[in-house]
Amino acid sequence: MKFNTLTLLGTSLVVTCSVSSLVQQLLNFDSVKPYSSSLLERASELYGGNYHELNDEILETWKEMELTVSHEKIKNVIDNYSKNYVSAVQKPNLSKFSENRAKTLWEFVNNKKSELFENYTLRVKKAKPEILGIDTVEQYSGYLDIKDQDKHFFYWFFESRNDPKNDPLILWLNGGPGCSSMTGLFFELGSSTIDAEIKPQFNPYSWNSNASVIFLEQPVGVGYSYAGSGSSKIGTTTAASRDVYVFLELFFQKFPEFLNNKFHIAGESYAGHYIPGIASEIINHADRSFQLSSVLIGNGITDSLIQYKYYQPMACGEGGYKQVISDEDCENLEEVYPRCARLIQSCYNTESVFACVPANIYCESKIMSPYDKTGLNVYDIRKKCDENSDGCYADMDYSTQFLNKPEVMEALGAEVEKYVSCDESVFRDFFLTGDEMKPFQGYVAEILEKNVPVLLYAGDKDYICNWLGNHAWSDALEWSGHDEYLAKSLQPWYTLDNNTFAGEVKSYGNFTFLRVFDAGHMVPHDQPENSLDMVNRWINGDYTFGV
């Protein structure tokens, strides 16, 4: 799931919470001042670097940002948002800690062969299906600990229902940034769903039907993951990628029986940033103990410059669904996109917070606000959001309640006071670095050139990371197979089991784009049977889906 800033802030004014946090950090004032260079001067002090070389359009956006945020909104953020990271993200439940308990509960895995792993420890415990009621397969939970930073990343690993010794292995990541991979587990592709009575129900279309699956909670502060006192922030994909690489090295050290199995990384939404960054981190470690077989990105945000262009056609009836905003708003979106594009291009050129944050502010406020007025679900253009749910889906709240059960937390070894599905403080930290607007498509090209297959799949009823934008950036990607891939047209995709016309596909070499019919942002939730067909074929080497 990708945070929509407008939905997150609960207002049509995009700059309220996230930008107020930025202003509070940069200015730390008690009253709103007339525009001056003080905002950028404070930004320069905070981030380092020189803002004097910014172009006029970026400077004007900073000016608008300062003038738009009211004193009341700033005060609210000062009251509710602390610069102390630990007060904002998940906190440890200190009652869970004792040396004797730790020794009996966990197995500890360390790697002393490299300085890279010196401060990392993997903790592992066997989870008990008979207590949890989640599948009957072998499963393990635990934490990756970064000792010198007091950060702790939670994971839950399920072996395959079929042939775990030989079946592929998948690492699954949800997006946000700041959303829990437990959403993927219980709402999309995992062994069980959670019903209205907060009880697990067997999922016959789980991705662990023919693969072993790891659900990792990252970056720190997400789900059961947490940080201790004095921990620094993680606000960039690059920083998060390093931690995931170390996790994988220690995981394979603990479970060497999976080293010869095919290994894939899959995820959705902001994982369109995470996965390219993690894959690049992996393939650039020549001394790695494992090989990356492929990556799968579902309804991702990867190339903002191109993808923001396709909100207008998706909302205006050109994406296979009816027009959902007014003619006036459709015309206005065409008018505001060029400035959005110029700001994103400046971010691409510099990757500077001074350019990337204003690009995020302007594009989110101008491009997303017409759709937000409709009250429609940004994750499924066909539906309204459930007003009684924080995540637009009431069923998501069921899994949150399940994961907050004391007996579940005890069985998994969870060490937080409370589980939350999406953490706004993690989102804010990424927002304040301008991470969303930075280009990650170059990493995808790097992956392809290293002969690692890449699947982009997209539910065609999603709005926030819609299929039009994903298809467009795949066509524009600069790599050695660009011309041949571009020349391909979308072809029918039929499932193997029942020959269902399930979508459209185009493929060249090791690069494939798949449009999934009648699915929103979370494809495995909306099309469970067809998504299982998709993943089973892909991880077993059918990279063209029969085309």
- Residues annotated as catalytic (active site), given as ranges: 269, 462, 521
Residue found under tokens 């437990």: 182
Closest of 150, 146, 141, 102 to residue 120, by C-alpha: 146
Give dist(CA 247, CA 145) in Å, integer.
Answer: 9
Phi, psi of 116 (to 5 degrees): -55, -35
Q: Which residues pair with 226 in a beta bridge?
A: 152
Distances (CA, A) of 87 to 83, 92, 131: 8, 11, 32
**Cα distance between residue 169 and residue 162, in whole Å:** 12
Measured at the alpha carbon of residue 283, what is the angle toward residues 251 and 435, in degrees to the nearest 5? 90
Crossing angle for the helix pair 237-254 and 271-283, nearest 10 degrees?
A: 60
Q: How many helices (H) and strands (E) does the chain have?
A: 23, 17
Angle between helices 56-68 and 353-372 (to 10 degrees): 60
DSSP code for 94: G
458: its two tokens: 């997209």
Other beta carbons within 10 angstroms of residue 100's beta carbon come to 7
Q: How far apart are CA 356 and CA 151, in angstroms?
A: 27
Instruction: Look at residues 88, 151, 51 and name the one whose alpha carbon lies nearest to residue 353.
Output: 51
CA atoms within 13 A on the CB side of 288: 21
Q: Are strands 139-146 and 151-158 parallel, antiparallel or unpaired?
A: antiparallel
Q: Are 173 and 271 in contact (CB under 8 A)?
A: yes
Cα–Cα distance for residue pair 408/398, rounded to 1 Å: 13
